[in-house]
Amino acid sequence: MFLVLVCGATTLATPVPSAKEDYPYQPVPFTAVHLDDQFWAPRLETNRITTIPYAFGKCEESGRMDNFARAAAILRGQTNVSRKEPGYPFDDTDPYKVLEGASYALAVQPDPKMAAYLDQLIALIASAQEPDGYLYTARTIDPDHPYNWSGNQRWVNEEASSHELYDAGHLFEAAAAHYQATGETNLLNVALREADLLCQTFGPETNQLHVWPGHEIVEMGLAKLYRVTGDPRYLALAKYFLDVRGSLPGGDVYHQSWIPPVQQTEAVGHAVRAGYLYSGMADVAALTGDRDYVRAIDRIWENCVGKKIYLTGGIGARPDGEAFGANYELPNLSAYNETCAAVGNDFWNERLFLLHGDAKYVDVLERTLYNGLLAGVSLSGTKFFYPNPLESDGNYERSPWFGCACCPGNITRFLPSLPGYFYAQQGRRVYVNLFASGTADLKLPDGSPLKLTQATRYPWDGAIRIIVAPEKKHRFSLAVRIPGWARNEVLPGGLYQFADDLTNEPVTLQVNGRPVAIQLDRGYALLDRTWQMGDVVELNLPMPVRRVTADARVTADAGRVALERGPIVFCAEWPDNPGGKVRDLILPGDQPLTAAFEPALLNGVETIQGRALRVSRSADGSVLKTEQDFKAIPYFAWANRGKGEMAVWFADSVDGGEALSKIGSTGGRAGAE
C-alpha cells in the first residue's frame, strides 16, 4: 500500500490491493462480459447514448449543477451568490449517480467527449467541497439558512431527514466507479477527503458523534472505498454505521432504526432504504466475516420473498412512506414499487448470491430485473416511472424527470453494470447466472484464460448455447443456473404458484450433443469435466405460457390469474384490447393462450394472445357476458404508447355476480409524482 498525505487527508496516489476477505463467490466484472444480444445490448446502448446525456442535461436544467457552482462561490468568499434553495437536500446525489453510470459506460466504450465532461463536472464538485472535506451544497450555499430538512448544524438532522450521509454514500459509489473505470483519482480524492472527515467525526469514542445514517447507502459506499484503498478505517466506519443503528433511543421502523439491524426479522419501512441497508449488511459481512449480519438478512429475505414481493419483483407496496406493507399486503392499482427499490432489491439479491452461491437469489434478481426494474425506463430512454403499479385506471404515465429524481439516476447507473451480474466464480467452479448472447473472458484459478460465448434469443426463447473455450484443456465445473420458473417454482417461498401443470416439457441439457442428466445443486446443473476448446453446452428451457396464482392471503389477487412466459411477466394494455378496457377482463382457465414474437411492436416483443370474457351488468340487473380477443405484452414495455388501462391480474372465472365483484380496482391508485 502506498499512500500520500495531502493537507491531512488520505489521497490515493497509486492503486492498492483490494480487500483480503470478501464475498466467497466473486462476480466476473462487467468489463469482462460483453453482451451483443437483441434484448440487453440495445438497451445498454440507449442508456449510454441517450439516457446518460439526457439525465446530465436534466441535472443542469434543474439547477443541480448550479448548486455546486453556488457553493463553490460561497467558499471563495463571493457575497453576491444567489441563495435559491435546492429542491431537495439530496439533489447532489443525482449528478453523482449519473456520473457513476457514465463511468461504467466509459469503462467498456471509450468516449473522449463524455470523459472530458466528467472531468469538468468533477472539478465543479471538488470546488464545492469545504476545506475539511464536508460536501453538501444544501448547507454550504447558505450555512445560516440551510435547507429546512438539514438542521442548523452539520448532521444534527442526519437520522431524520438531512441526507448528508446519503449524499456522501452516492459520492463514494460514483468515485469508486470512476476510479475503476478511468484509473483517474480526481473524484476518488474528493470522496476520500469526505470519508476521512466522516471517520474522524463518527464512531464509538466519546468525542465522536453517535449517529446512524437516515437514508442508507454510505455503508455500501464505504465498503467500495475500502476495496479500492485497502484502508480499514472505511470498513470500520461502515460497520459502525450498521451497529449504531437502533442501538440508541429515537429510532423508528421507517428508517429501519427501531432496533439494531442484526435483530431485525422482517422487511419493513422505506423500501429503498431497506434494500440499501440489507446490501450494506451483506458487504460488511463479506468483508469482516461477521455471520450475525448474514443471519439477519437471510431472515429478512425469507419474509420479503415469502410475503412482501410482487410478481414483478417489485417491493415496497405502500405509497405512504414509500414503504413495505404488512405481510401479503400487495394491492395492484396502488402498488408503489419504486424503481429505486427494484434496483435495491437486485443489489441485495446479487449480494446474497455472492454470500451463499444459491440460484434462488438469482431467481429473485432475474424476476426483478426483467419486470419491476426494467419497467422503470421507457423504450426511448427518456421517460421514467417512480412507482411501478401492477394496474392502471388510465391516469398514470411516465415522466421525463422528477423533482425527487432518484429513480432515473438509479436506472442510468444500474444498466451499464448489468453484464457484471451474468457470471461468477468460486475456485474451480464457474457460474452462469443470466442468459444473453455475448462473450465473457474469465481466468481459471491457475490463471489460464477461459472464454464463454452464449448464443440465445433469451428472454424470448429458452434455447441457450454456450461455447466453452479454455485456452488449454482444463478440468473445472460449469454451474448452469436452471431458473426457478423452469422448475415449476415462480419464486422461492411459495407466495405465487403456477396454476397449470406443464411439467411434460422437461428442461434438457446437452454437452457436445450428448444429453446430460440434470442433477441440481442449489438451483444449478453442475457440469464437472475436463473442458477443451470448442466444447458446447446446450440448455433448453421450455417457455410455455404459464398461468400464475397468488397465495390466498394476498386478497388483491384472490380469484385472479396472471400470465408469464419464461422470466417475463405479462400485462394487458389498452391499445391491444378491444375498447381499450382491460381491468374487467376474465381469463377462464380453459381458454387456450398462444405466444408469438411481434418484431414491429414495442421494439420487438413476445405477445400472448387468446380470447377473454368481459362481464357487465345490464340495466335490468342481469349479467352480460361477451367474448373478445385478448392480447398481453411484457409488463416492462407498458406505458410507451400513451395513457390508458393496464392490468397484470385478471379474474379467472365467470360465475355471475362473483365475477362482477372481481371486476375493476384491486386497490387505490399509485400516489407518487
| Segment lying near Zn ion (by CB under 5 A), choices 179-187, 398-406, 443-451, 630-638 | 398-406
Which of these, 395, 396, 394, lies nearest to 580 by C-alpha position?
394
Q: Using alpha carbons only, what angle is made at residue 289 by residues 284 and 295, rounded to the nearest 5 degrees?
A: 80
Taking the least distance from each CB to Zn ion, the nearer of 339 and 607 is 339
| Segment lying near Zn ion (by CB under 5 A), choices 155-163, 214-222, 401-409, 579-587 | 401-409
Q: Cβ of residue 377: shortest distance to Zn ion, in angstroms?
A: 12
412 grid coordinates: 442510468
Taking the least distance from each CB to Zn ion, the nearer of 66 and 338 is 338
| Segment lying near Zn ion (by CB under 5 A), choices 128-136, 211-219, 284-292, 333-341 | 333-341
Kindly identify the residues of this chain, within the stretch 340-359, that bind Zn ion according to CB under 5 A.
340
406 carries an active-site annotation: yes
Using the rule CB under 5 A, is 300 a contact of Zn ion?
no
Q: Cβ of residue 315: shortest distance to Zn ion, in angstroms?
A: 12
- Cα 385 to Cα 292, 400, 560, distances in angstroms: 36, 9, 25
| Segment lying near Zn ion (by CB under 5 A), choices 114-122, 406-414, 443-451, 514-522 | 406-414
Report the distance separating Cα 503 and Cα 497, nearest Å.
13
Q: Binding-site residue total for Zn ion (CB under 5 A)?
A: 4
Taking the least distance from each CB to Zn ion, the nearer of 369 and 407 is 407
Q: Which residue is catalytic, options 100, 173, 322, 350?
A: 322
Residue type, position 467, single letter: I
Report the distance separating Cα 451 and Cα 467, nearest Å.
8
Residue 361: its H or E element: helix 359-367
561 grid coordinates: 390469474
Using the rule CB under 5 A, is 52 a contact of Zn ion?
no
CB neighbour class for 551 (10 Å; exposed up to 12, middle 13-18, buried from 19) = middle
Q: Which residue is catalytic, options 304, 340, 406, 571?
A: 406
Q: Cβ of residue 404: shortest distance to Zn ion, in angstroms?
A: 7
DSSP string of 364-425, one letter each residue? HHHHIIIIIIGGGB-TTSS-B-SS--SEEES----BS--SS-HHHHHHHHHGGGGGGGSEEE
- Cα 365 to Cα 312, 387, 439, 491, distances in angstroms: 10, 19, 21, 10
Using the rule CB under 5 A, is 407 a contact of Zn ion?
yes
Q: Going by DSSP bridges, is the β-strand pair 560-565/605-617 parallel, antiparallel, or unpaired?
A: unpaired
Q: Cβ of residue 309: shortest distance to Zn ion, in angstroms?
A: 18
Q: Cβ of residue 262: shortest distance to Zn ion, in angstroms?
A: 27
Residue 415 CB neighbours (<10 A): 26
| CB closest to Zn ion, residue no | 340
Backbone angles phi, psi at 109, to 5 degrees: -145, 105
221 grid coordinates: 459506499
Taking the least distance from each CB to Zn ion, the nearer of 399 and 603 is 399
Q: Of residues 406, 424, 525, 569, which one binds Zn ion by CB under 5 A?
A: 406
Taking the least distance from each CB to Zn ion, the nearer of 140 and 345 is 345
Cis check for the bond before 459: say yes or no (omega within 30 of 0).
yes
Q: Cβ of residue 161: shortest distance to Zn ion, in angstroms?
A: 16
Taking the least distance from each CB to Zn ion, the nearer of 333 and 340 is 340
Helix, strand, or coil (residue 77): coil
DSSP bridge pairs for 34: 439
Residue type, position 23, single letter: Y
Taking the least distance from each CB to Zn ion, the nearer of 385 and 485 is 385
| Segment lying near Zn ion (by CB under 5 A), choices 46-54, 120-128, 334-342, 528-536 | 334-342
Residues that are catalytic: 322, 406
Residues that bind Zn ion (CB under 5 A): 338, 340, 406-407
